[in-house]
Structure 1
Amino acid sequence: MKKTTMTMDHDHQMMAHDDMDMGNGQMMHMGNLKRKFWVSLVLTLPIILMSPMMGMRLPFQLIFQPWSDYLVAILGTIVFVYGGQPFFSGAKAELANRKPAMMTLITMGIGVAFVYSIYAVVANDWLAVTPRVTDFFWELVTLIDIMLLGHWIEMNTVMNAGSAVDKLAKLLPSTAHKIVDGQTQDVAIESLMTADHVQVRAGEKIPADGVIVSGATSVNEAMVTGEARLVEKQVDAKVVGGSVNGEGTFDMRVTGTGESGYLAQVMKLVSDAQAAKSAQENLADRVAGLLFYAALTVAIVAFIVWLLVGNLALALSIAVTVLVIACPHALGLAVPLVIARSTALAARHGLLIRNRDAMEQVKKLNYALMDKTGTLTAGDFKVADYQSLNAQYQADQVLSLMAGLEKGASHPLAVGILKAAKAQQVPTVQATDVHQITGVGLSGSIDGQVYQVVSAAYLDRQHLSYDQATFNRLASAGNSVSFLVQDQQVLGYVAQGDQLKPAAKHLIASLKAQHITPVMLTGDNEQSAQVVAKQLGITEVHASLLPEDKVKLVTQYQAQGQRVMMIGDGVNDAPSLAQADIGIAIGSGTDVAIDSADVVLVKSNPDDVVDFLALARQTTRKMTQNLWWGAGYNVITIPLAAGILAPWGFLLNPMVGAVVMSLSTIIVAINAMTLRLKD
C-alpha cells in the first residue's frame, strides 16, 4: 500500500530541511554544504598564515618562501572551485532566466577576486612588475567561508522555524488497534484505509480521522485545533487524528487517511506556505539585481577614473573591492528568515497560511466582507417555531418532511431541524434523490412527491405567496426561516435562532480600529441579518445573497480600487474567497474548501482573524526592516570602496567590507527571530 500523505509530507518536509535553495531552484544538500564549509575553513587557515595581511608579510609566510605565493594560489583555487560551487550553480540559473540576483552578485564578487588574485601571482612572480600587486586570496577565501557559514546558519534557522511541521507529524501514533472479526490487532497507521474500524483506548492518541461507532468519551483537541478544553464525543461524533482520547474507550470508523486526513492537510498547508515565494521576496531579488548592475557600473567607472589618475594595479584593486563588497548575503536572508519564523508562529496558533502574499496585502486592506452564519454566529441553530401554512398538513408533518429532506445534510440549519424532530419525537420520513439547489436550499422526493426546502428570497423571486406578517415577526427577532414547498405551494415553515460568537464583537471593533470597514454578506433574510448587524455594530449589510452575488460584490469593491478581505465558512463562500485579495476560511479545517482560501483558521474563532492581521503586519514590518539592513550597507560601502573619500586618505579594504556584511547578516537573523505573536 502507498504511504499516507501524512508520511509522505513528513518525508518531503524533512528533505526540504536537508536541502537549501541556492537561487532559482538550485538546491544544496545541507550535509554537503556543511562539509563544504569545514573543508574550506581548514584550507583557509594556511592561506591566512601564508598571505600578506594588509600588506604585511607574516613570519609563517617567510618559512615557505619562495613557494608561499604558489601554495596560496593552489589552496585558494581549491576553495574557490569547491566552496564556491553552490554560488556558481545559483548564478547560472539566474542568468539563464535573465534575472541576475543574489547568487549572481556573490559569484561576480568572488569570481573577480579570484581572477585578480591569479593575475597578481603571475604579475609578481613571473612578470616581476613593480610596485608589487596585492592579491585577494585572503579576502576571497574568508568571504566564501562567511557565505557558506551564513547559508548553513540560515538552514539551521529555517529548520528550527519549521519545527512546527515536525511536531504535527509526531502527533499521530505509530500503531493503531484495528478491529478484525471482532478482535483487535496492532497495525501500522500507514496500513489503515477508509472504512476500517479501530479501537481507541483511554489516554491514547487517535490514529486517524473518523466517526465514533460505539462508546463515548471526551477528547483533548488542543494540539490539533488549539481548543484548550475537553470535547465530549458520542456515537456519530467526528474525531480528528492526533487528538488525545480521555478516559473512555471507543470504536471508530476511519474516514480520513493520507490526503484526506486533517493533519496531512495541515502539514501540506504549512509546507506549501514555506515553499512559496512571496512578492516581497521577489522584491529582494529585484533589489539584488539592481545592486548587480549598480556595482558593475560603479566598478567600471571607478576603474576608468583610477586608471586615469593612478595606475592599472590601483584601478584593478579598487574595482575588485567594489565588486567583492557588493555581495548581498544579508539581503538573501532578509525575507526567508522572517517568513520561516512567521509561518511557524502561525501554525502553532492555528493560522494556516496557504498563500504568503496574503500577509503583504493586509497593510492595504480597506474592507472586510464576511459571512454571517458560522463566521459571526455560532451556527448552532435551535428551532424557535414551526407551523403549517396549509390546511392539509399538520405542523409535525411539516417538521417531519423537512427533517427527511435534511437528513444527511451538514448545514447548521439542517442540524437544527433534525435536532428539533428528534426532540419532538417526530418520525423522520425517508427521502430520495435529495440534492442541493445552489443559493436556494435543497430538493428531494418523498413518497413520489417532490418537495423543496427554500428561503423567503426564493419565494419572492418565484412570486409564491406566504404569510409575510409571520415571517417579518420571526425574522425581526433574528430567526432564519426555512419554507417547505411542494408543487409551487408553501406548506409550512421552520424558524431557527442562532447565537453570536463571543469573539465576534471584538473582531468588528478591531477591524474598525484598523480602519477596515466590516461588511456582512449573507444568504439569510434582511431582517435577521440586520438584527445581527445591529448587535455587532456593522452598518453595511447585504442579505438574501446567492454565492454568485457575493462574488459580484467582492468584484465591485475591487473595481472601485478597494482591497478586500473575505471571511467565510469556506464551502458556500468558496468563489468569493478565491476572488478576494485575502480569502480567510473560518472553520475546523476538515470541511472547508482549503484550495479557495489564502488562510484557514483552525479554531473557528473570529479572534484569530485579529491575530492574523497582527501577525501579518509584524511580518511585513520585519521584512521591510531586514531589507533595509540587507541592502543598506551597500549604499554606504560601495561608494567608499570606489574611493569617494580617497582625497581625504580613506580607501575601504575588502575585508572591512566583508566584516560589515557578516554583521549585517547577524542583524537580520536576530531581527527575524524577535518576531512574536502575543498569546
Structure 2
Amino acid sequence: MSKKDSKKMDHSHHNMNDHSEHSEKEMAGMDHSMHMGNFKQKFWLSLVLAIPIVLMSPMMGMELPFQFTFNGSEWVVLVLATILFFYGGQPFLSGAKMELKMKSPAMMTLIAMGISVAYFYSLYSFVANEFLGDHVMNFFWELATLIVIMLLGHWIEMNAVSNASDALQKLAELLPDEVTRIDENGKEKRVSLQDVREGDHLIVRAGDKMPTDGVIEKGTSTVDESAVTGESRGVVKKVGDKVIGGSVNGNGTIYVLVTGTGESGYLAKVMEMVRNAQAEKSKLEALSDTVAKWLFYVALVAGIVTFVAWLFLADLPQALERMVTVFIIACPHALGLAIPLVIARSTSIAAKNGLLLKNRNALENAHRLDMIFLDKTGTLTQGTFTVTGVESLKTDVDEQEILRYIGSLEANANHPIATGIMKYLKDQGISPYKAEEVKNVTGVGLEGEVDGKKVQIINAKALEELDLHVEKSKITRYQEQGNTISYLIIDNELSGLIALGDKIKPEAKAFLAALRERGIIPAMLTGDNEEAAANVAKYLGIDQYYAALLPDGKEKIIAQAINEGHQVAMVGDGINDAPSLARATIGIAIGAGTDVAIDSADVVLTNSNPHDIIHFLDLAKQTRKKMVQNLWWGAGYNIVAIPLAAGVLAPIGIILDPAVGAVLMSLSTVIVALNAMTLKIRK
C-alpha cells in the first residue's frame, strides 16, 4: 500500500485502530492461525529436527527396528528436542497463553500441555539416567511427533481456509486520494482527502467518486449508490439532497458541502458495525475446540487423581510416570489432524462447486440453519438497471425500428431510464434516428419529431389518458418482475414498448424451491424501494421481505432473528450488506460484489450463482458428519486409554503399556486420514 493510501486510511478510519488489540483477542478463539506466524516454514524445519529424534529415541520405551543409538546420542536428542520444543512448539505455547487469558482452554492449551509435560519430564528423565544412574523412560519421541503432526494439521487448515484480507483498506480504496476544493475566494485547488474538513466546499465532476458525505449546493446529477446502499437504479440528485462518500457521480457536475469525513462518515460507520458484529460472532466455538476443552479438563483431573493414587500405591517416580503418560495420551496425534484434513478436503470440493470457504466455523454451523436472508440487488437479481424487453405492437415496425425511435428521443435525456436504454442500443450496435424539437412533458415523458412523424415516449398513466390500450399478455411478465414500462407512440398510434428493470436471475426460483425443501425459510432484504421489492418478492413467492433498508436496518433485522433463536444465513454483495454478513450465523457473499462484502463474509460464491448455496448446505452436512466421526476416532480412544493409563485395572494386573498406547494412537491417526479422504457430495 502506498504512503498516500496509508495516510488516507489513517485519516478516514483512525478511530478503528483503537480496537486492534481487542479484535486480535476476539479472533484468537476463531482462528488460531491468524497470529501464529508461518506454519509451513515451522513444519518443514521442525520435521528436519524431528527425524533424528525419532531415529534415536524409543517410542514410549519401545525400541523400533529402524532405530539406533551411539555414544552421546542422548545429548544430540536433548539438544534437538530443546530447539524443537521452543521453536516448533511456540505457536501452541503462545496460543495456550491466549486461550488461558480468555479463560477458554481449548485445542492450543491441550497441545501445549501435552508437549510441555513430554519435554520437561524427558528433561528430568535425561538428568536421572545420565547423572543419577536411574532408568527413567523419556518421551522425546512423543514430543517430536506430536509437534510435527500438530504443525502439519494447522498448516493444512491455514492452506485450505483463506484468511480474510483487510476490509479497512478496501473501504479506504473506495474514496479518491485527492479532491477539488473551492477556497473562500472561489478558486479551485486539488488537495489530499485527509486535509478535507466538515464545512468545506468541493466540486465533484462526472464519473468521479464521491469523496465524503455531503449535501449538494449546486448542480444536478444521477448518482450510482449501488455499491454502498444497494439501490439498483441511479438516484437523481439535486440541490439540497445528501450524497454518500464512496458512491459514484454520474453525468453532471455538482458542488458539495462536506457534512461527514473520517469517523463521522457513512463508510466508517458501516465498518464499525462490521467490527462489532464480527466480535460478537467470534464467540461461536469450533466443534474441535469444544472436544479439546473437555479433553483438557478430563486429562487434568485424571492426571492429578492418578498421581495422588499412585503416590499411595507405589512411589513418587512411578506416580510421576503414570501422570505424565495420562497427560501425553490425552493429547492424541489424530486430534490435530481430525478437523484440518476434513476441512482441506471439503475446501477443495467447495472450490470445484463455486464456493470459497473463508471461515471453517461456517461448515460446522450450517446444519442448524433455519432462515436465510437474501439481499435483492445482485443476489436474486443481476444488480444493474437495464433493458429487460422490447416489444413491437404494430406489424409494420420491427423491434430494431422501435429501439431507433426510442433512442432518438432518449439520446440527450439525463435520467436512469435513458442511460439504460442508450447503453442497450450501444451494446446491440443500433444507431438511433435523428430527432428534432425534443421536449420533456412533465409527468408524461418525452416527445419530438423524427422524419416529419410525431414521436412520443410515455408512461402507463399517460397511455390510459390517451385512451390507448395494450394487450395484457404483452406486459404481465414485466409487471410481475417490477419493471418500468415505457410506451412508444408514432403519429398517435401505439407502436411498441420497452421495459427496464433489474433482471431476476434465471436460477433464483429453483434455488428458493430447493431451500424450502430443506426446511429453510427465505426472506428478502433490500435497500431498493418498496414497489420494486414487493414485485420481486411476489414474483419469486417470498412471503417475508423488507425494503428501503440502510445497513443498520438490515443488521438489526438479522440480530433480531438471531435473538429469537433462529440460525441465520445472510447472502449479499454490497457494502450495505457487510454488517449483516458479519452479524449472521453464516455470511455468504456474491463473488461479483464489493470487496468489503467479501471480506465480511464466511463463504464467497465465486460464480455469483445463488444456487451454489445449495451445494454449500449439502457439503456442510457431509463435512460435519465426517468431523464428528473423526473426532470420535481421534479423541474416542481416550475414553479407554486414559483410565487404563491411569491404572484403574491395576488391581487385576492390567496396566496399559505405554507402547500399546502409542500403537493405538498411530492407528487412530491413520483411520482419521482415510476417513477424511472419503468425503464427497452427491450432485
Could you say which TM-score interval applies, normalised by the shorter chain? 0.5 to 0.7
Q: 1:480 aligns with which of 473, 479, 483?
A: 483
**C-alpha separation between the residues in 1 aligned to 2:161 and 2:569?**
27
1:515 counterpart SS class? coil
Say whether residues 1:610 and 2:620 are aligned partners: no
Matched residue pairs, number? 489
Q: What's 2:243 paired with? A: none
**Structure 1 position 404 matched with structure 2 position 414:** yes
Counterpart-to-counterpart distance in 1, 2:554 and 2:435: 37
> Are the counterparts in 2 of residues 369 and 520 from structure 1 also a CA contact under 8 Å?
yes
How far is the alpha carbon of 1:424 from its aligned partner?
A: 5.4
Aligned to 1:344: 348
Matched, 1:298 2:299: no
Distance 1:121 1:596, change over 3 A: closer
- The change in CA–CA distance for 1:72 and 1:371 in structure 2 (over 3 A counts) is closer
Deviation at 1:32, TM superposition (A): 5.9
The 8 Å contact of residues 570 and 584 in structure 2, kept in 1 or not, is answered as yes
Does the Cα contact within 8 Å between 2:481 and 2:504 map onto a contact in 1?
no
Q: Is the 2:645–2:656 contact (alpha carbons within 8 Å) kept by the matching residues of 1?
A: yes
Counterpart of 2:117 in structure 1 is: 109
- Tell me the residue number matched to 1:382: 388
Deviation (angstroms), 1:330: 2.4
Structure 1: distance between partners of 2:376 and 2:96: 51
Q: Aligned in 2, Cα 1:97/1:523: closer, same or farther, shift over 3 Å? A: closer
**Offset at 1:518?**
1.6
User: In structure 1, the residue corresponding to 2:668 is in which secondary structure?
Assistant: helix
Pairs within 5 Å for 1:176-191 = none
What is the distance in 1 between the residues matched to 2:525 and 2:602?
19
Q: The residue matched to 1:369 in structure 2 has which SS?
A: strand
Q: Within the alignment, does 1:41 sit opposite 2:47 as a pair?
A: no
Partners of 1:522 and 1:35 lie apart in 2 by: 52
> Is 1:288 matched up with 2:296?
no
User: What is the CA distance between 1:661 and its match in structure 2?
Assistant: 2.0
1:629–1:386 CA distance, 2 compared to 1 (3 A): same
| 1:512–1:590 Cα change, 3 Å | same
What is the Cα deviation at residue 517 of structure 1? Answer: 0.8
Pairing partner for 1:359 from 357, 363, 366: 363
Task: Give the whole-Å Cα distance in 2 for the aligned partners of 1:558 and 1:508.
Answer: 21
Task: Give the deviation of 1:526 after TM superposition.
Answer: 6.8
Q: Is this contact kept in 2: 1:24–1:90, CA < 8 A? A: no
- 1:118 equivalenced with 2:144 (yes/no): no
What CA distance in whole angstroms lies between the structure 2 residues aligned with 1:25 and 1:574?
Answer: 24
Letter in 1 for 2:609: N
Shift of 1:109: 3.2
Shift of residue 600, structure 1, vs aligned partner: 2.8
Deviation at 1:644, TM superposition (A): 0.8
The yes-or-no answer on 1:620 pairing with 2:624 is: yes
Deviations 1:407-441 (A, max 9, x none): 997xx7995698799675477999xxxxxxxxxxx
Q: TM-score, normalised by structure 2?
A: 0.58
Q: 1:529 to 1:617 in 2, by over 3 A?
A: same
TM-superposed CA distance for 1:114, in Å, is: 0.8
Shift in Å at residue 669 of structure 1? 2.7
SS at 1:665 equivalent: helix
Tell me how far 1:561 sits from its aligned partner.
2.7
For 2:98 and 2:481, the matched residues in 1 are separated by 59
Describe the superposition over 1:556-584 as per-residue Cα deviations: whole angstroms up to 9, x where unpaired.
43343323323334366555445443333
**Equivalent residues of 1:87, 1:104 under 8 A apart:** no
Contact 2:425 2:431 in 1 (8 A): no
SS of match in other structure, 1:567:
strand
Gaps of 5+ in 1: 6-20, 126-132, 166-276, 388-394, 431-454, 460-465, 485-492
* Bigger shift: residues 662-671 or 540-549: 540-549
Tell me, what secondary structure is at the counterpart of 1:362? helix
Deviation at 1:110, TM superposition (A): 0.8
Aligned CA distance change for structure 1 residues 501 and 429 (closer, same or farther; 3 Å): farther
**Residue 633 of structure 2 aligns to which amino acid in structure 1?**
W
Contact 2:411 2:418 in 1 (8 A): no
Contact 1:90 1:104 in 2 (8 A): no
Deviation at 1:655, TM superposition (A): 2.3
Is 1:588 equivalent to 2:592 in the alignment? yes
Structure 1 residues 119, 597: closer, same or farther in 2, change over 3 A?
closer
CA distance in 2 between counterparts of 1:678 and 1:658 reads 37
Q: 2:524 is paired with a residue of what secondary structure?
A: strand
Task: For residue 642 of structure 1, report the CA deviation from its aligned partner.
Answer: 0.6
Unmatched segments (≥5 aa) in structure 2: 6-30, 165-280, 394-404, 439-458, 488-496
RMSD: 5.3
Return closer, same or farther for 1:160/1:553 CA change in 2, 3 Å cut-off: closer
Deviation of residue 543 (structure 1)? Answer: 5.5
Change (3 A) 1:294 1:503: same
SS in structure 2 at match of 1:97: helix
Task: Find out whether 1:78 has 2:86 as its counterpart.
Answer: no
Separation in 2 of the partners of 1:24 and 1:595?
A: 15
Deviations 1:188-229 (A, max 9, x none): xxxxxxxxxxxxxxxxxxxxxxxxxxxxxxxxxxxxxxxxxx
Please give the per-residue CA displacement for 1:606-628, whole angstroms capped at 9, x wherever unaligned.
Answer: 22121122223333333333333
Is the CA contact (8 Å cut-off) linking 1:367 and 1:562 kept in structure 2? Answer: yes
- What is aligned with 1:330? 334
Q: Which residue does 2:657 correspond to in 1?
A: 653
Distance 2:482 2:34 in 1: 55
Equivalent pair of 2:311/2:319 in contact (CA under 8 Å): yes
Residue 299 of structure 1 aligns with an amino acid whose one-letter code is: G
In structure 2, the partner of 1:247 is none
The alignment-based identity, stated in percent, is: 39
* C-alpha distance 641-336 of structure 1, shift in aligned 2 (>3 A): same
Alpha-carbon distance between aligned partners in 2 of 1:426 and 1:383, rounded to the nearest angstrom: 23
Which AA in structure 2 matches 1:74?
W
| TM-aligned CA deviation for residue 512 of structure 1 | 0.9
Q: Measure the CA separation in 1 of the matches of 2:555 and 2:158.
A: 39
Distance, in Å, in 2 between the alignment partners of 1:582 and 1:556 is 15
- Give the TM-score of the pair, scaled to structure 1: 0.58
> Alpha carbons of 1:428 and 1:420: their partners in 2 closer, same or farther (altered >3 Å)?
farther
Contact 1:366–1:562 (Cα < 8 Å) also in 2: yes
**2:93 aligned with 1:89:** no
Distance 1:323 1:397, change over 3 A: closer
Cα deviation for residue 325 of structure 1 reads 1.5
State the Cα deviation string for residues 460-509 of structure 1 (Å, max 9, x = none): xxxxxx99x9999877444422799xxxxxxxx97436765342232112
Residues 523 and 414 (structure 1), Cα distance of their counterparts in 2 relative to 1, 3 Å cut: farther
Q: Name the CA shift for 1:156/1:418 in 2 (closer, same or farther; >3 Å).
A: same
> How far is 1:353 from its partner?
3.2
Q: How does 1:9-408 map to 2 (within 5 A)?
A: 25-27=35-37, 30=40, 33-48=43-58, 53=62, 71=72, 73-86=74-87, 88-94=89-95, 96-97=97-98, 99=100, 101-118=109-126, 120-121=128-129, 125=133, 134-137=135-138, 140-151=139-150, 154=153, 157=156, 282=286, 284-285=288-289, 287-377=291-381, 381-383=387-389, 400=410, 404-406=414-416
1: CA distance between counterparts of 2:625 and 2:415?
Answer: 52
